[in-house]
Amino acid sequence: MTNIETNQDRLWSTLMDLGQLGETEIGGCNRVEFTALNKQARDLFCSWAKDAGCEIFVDGFGNIRIRRQGKNPDAPVVMCGSHLDTQPTGGKFDGIYGVLGGLEAIRSLNDAGVETDAPIEVVVWTNEEGYMFQPMMGSAVWTGMLPLEDAFAMRDEKIDFGICEGLDRMGYLGDAPFMDRAKVACYIELHIEQGPVLGNAGEIIGVVDATQGQHWYDLELTGVEAHAGPTPMPVRKDAMMGMSRIALEVKRIAEDNMPACGTCGFAEVFPNSRNTIPGRVKFSADLRHPNPKKLAAMDMEFREVAKSITDEMGLKLSLSEFTFIKPLPFNQPLADGIEKAALATQKPYRRMFTGAGHDACNIARFLPTAMIFIPCRDGISHNELEWAEADHCKIGADVLVNTLMAAANGQITYE
């Protein structure tokens, strides 16, 4: 079958039109989940899907599925998707590109008059970014990793309502049954890389065949508040200095285990006064590695060094694991199918792992899954300066539509 080409101008137009919802002064997006702006984005996407002839389903956690029917409606569905919510200082491409790239794939199949054997669906997952509550919730609820009742019981100090009320406010507390995983053949996620690997190598497509595992930790150090002037250095129990030493160890552990990553991205200091030695600090730590054994060793070393530092400084340590995601390979035959579509573009590409967490990382535990990356400028994401080039967006969508078509016509066999 002849390869399908997507419409670059149409794809770019949808990206820019949706990007106006929550657009910031310097061109980014602030469209976090459960807000009026995100409702507008959902509404606009659904209107485009309806115009493309799709059926629309909204489940009990607000996940939106749009379906292009196949010749065999009962065949296992070929699924792709991502999310429409952003970080407060996010960009126009993270997540949104995967959703609108999926819509463009459907539109392009319509333009070409192609009827696939199996149905194709594009999914918008609820609350992927996790600015409120925890990240990647929509796919976690769908896969059963997070029970629906537990999700609805969650509260967040930033807001005075729960998830159920937030979905209801947006008009997206749906009543469609959750899609039966047994009726899904595979899942593909199109995304900007969010890192510099492709751009630095001058490559256009990343065939993503593995996840990077990650440990997210919540830490709290408790010392003694005291006056910043008369308290001698040797007798201080400074919680912030303890945090600083632990943060440096996160950096060292990552650098000792490349291609690991280590980050401390959140901190709250109490009492947060310039004339008082901090008596308590809450902060996060994040360690990632694609190799399970390496990641396990990093986890053990981090726990030991955090305890050693706090014991030495006379601080009380509370360390809990907020999230653990195992490193795991994606489905290799599906990644091979993506690679075949990438080869057809005659553009440079590579096989790679994902350094960021995505809904695909949840879904890969249950279904054949793989991802497609395109570069983003300077590898910047979760930032208002996040940017992708129009021609790269088109090439990534070309790879997606042809992989979807192959999968929906039974041309990919999953192990």
What's the rounded Cα separation, in Å, for the pair 292 and 38? 36
- Residues 215-241 pLDDT 10s: 999 999 999 999 999 999 999 999 999
Q: Count Cβ atoms within 10 A of the Cβ of residue 7 and give its class: 0-12 exposed, 13-18 middle, 19 or more buried.
A: middle
Q: Count Cβ atoms within 10 A of the Cβ of residue 300 and give its class: 0-12 exposed, 13-18 middle, 19 or more buried.
A: exposed
Shared-domain flag, residues 249 and 269:
yes
Evaluate whether residue 415 is within a structural domain: no
- Residues 55-105 pLDDT 10s: 999 999 999 999 999 999 999 999 999 999 999 999 999 999 999 999 999
Q: What is the mean pLDDT of the chain?
A: 96
User: Which of these three, 279, 309, 325, is where a domain ends?
Assistant: 325
What's the rounded Cα separation, in Å, for the pair 318 and 285? 13
What is the pLDDT at residue 158?
83
Shared-domain flag, residues 206 and 222:
no
What is the pLDDT at residue 241?
98
- pTM across the whole model: 0.86
Domain count of the chain? 2
What's the rounded Cα separation, in Å, for the pair 99 and 41? 11
User: Which of these three, 291, 325, 359, is where a domain ends?
Assistant: 325
Shared-domain flag, residues 188 and 147:
yes
Shared-domain flag, residues 288 and 349:
no
Q: What is the CATH number of the domain that holds 14?
A: 3.40.630.10
Evaluate whether residue 89 is within a structural domain: yes
Shared-domain flag, residues 293 and 332:
no
Q: What is the CATH number of the domain that holds 251?
A: 3.30.70.360
Shared-domain flag, residues 23 and 131:
yes
- Residues 366-401 pLDDT 10s: 999 999 999 999 999 999 999 999 999 999 999 999
| Domain range enclosing 302 | 213-325
List CB contacts of 237: < 8 A, sequence separation 6 or more. Answer: 223, 224, 277, 279, 313, 314, 315
What is the pLDDT at residue 1?
55
What confidence tier does 201 reach under pLDDT thresholds 50, 70, 90? Answer: very high
What is the pLDDT at residue 321?
95
Evaluate whether residue 235 is within a structural domain: yes
Shared-domain flag, residues 153 and 31:
yes
What's the rounded Cα separation, in Å, for the pair 408 and 402? 10
